[in-house]
């Protein structure tokens, strides 16, 4: 249930397991079921917040961007978890924020940054014209 402890797993004997697709198996061995549950809850929280930000947006491009980026993260986690458990074939994708890989980590942080930016614009109130009560589109100045 609680695993062997951080750094106390036997996956270092295999060599590639701690740095490849099998990072999830290594995390499961070291953190146990409770640790894997916490990891999956964090991923689901990130994906759910991305979907929520997408649904709160008013412009269609931002909505599609947010839901698409959240879906990319969800698909990566699903494919790696399914591949490690043997439900689907392994694909060579990296587990977001866990697996070693420079371009994967940079790409995932860019996805998170875009989701934060979209979420921020979803929370801003839309200004109204005082005379007519019509909601005007938000125009941001880059000054």
92: left (phi over 0), alpha (psi -120 to 50) or beta: left
Question: Tokens 């979420």 identify what position?
Answer: 119
Lowest mean pLDDT among 14-18, 61-65, 118-122: 14-18
Residue 51: give the domain boundaries: 40-123
Residue 22 lies in a domain: no
pLDDT at 47: 93
- Domain assignment of residue 83, yes or no: yes
pLDDT value of residue 102:
78
Q: For residue 28, is it within any domain?
A: no
Mean pLDDT of 55-61: 85
Q: For residues 51 and 70, is the Cβ–Cβ distance under 8 A?
A: yes
CB 6 within 8 A of CB 32: no
pLDDT at 9: 62
Calculate the alpha carbon distances from 101 to 32, 97, 136 in Å. Answer: 24, 9, 44
21 in a domain, yes or no? Answer: no
pLDDT at 133: 56
The number of folded domains in the chain is 1
pTM, rounded to two decimals: 0.73
Does residue 23 lie within any of the structural domains?
A: no
Task: Please determine, for residue 74, whether its predicted confidence score (pLDDT) is greater than 90.
Answer: yes
Alpha-carbon span 42 to 49, nearest angstrom: 11
pLDDT category of residue 19 using cuts at 50, 70 and 90: low
Residue 82 in domain = yes
List, in sequence order, every residue forming a beta bridge with 135; answer none if it has no partner.
128
Q: Is the pLDDT of residue 29 over 70?
A: yes
Q: Is residue 65 part of a domain?
A: yes
Q: Is 34 within a domain? A: no
């Amino acid at each position: 249930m609680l695993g062997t402890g951080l750094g106390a797993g036997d996956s270092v004997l295999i060599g590639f397991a701690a740095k490849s697709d099998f990072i999830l198996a290594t995390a499961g061995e070291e953190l146990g079921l409770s640790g894997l549950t916490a990891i999956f809850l964090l991923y689901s929280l990130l994906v759910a917040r991305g979907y929520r930000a997408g649904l709160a947006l008013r412009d269609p491009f931002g909505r599609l961007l947010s839901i698409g980026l959240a879906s990319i993260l969800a698909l990566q986690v699903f494919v790696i978890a399914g591949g490690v458990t043997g439900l689907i074939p392994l694909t060579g994708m990296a587990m977001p924020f866990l697996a070693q890989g420079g371009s994967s980590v940079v790409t995932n942080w860019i996805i998170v940054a875009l989701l934060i930016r979209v979420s921020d614009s979803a929370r801003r109130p839309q200004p109204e014209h005082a005379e007519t009560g019509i909601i005007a589109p938000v125009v941001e100045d880059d000054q």
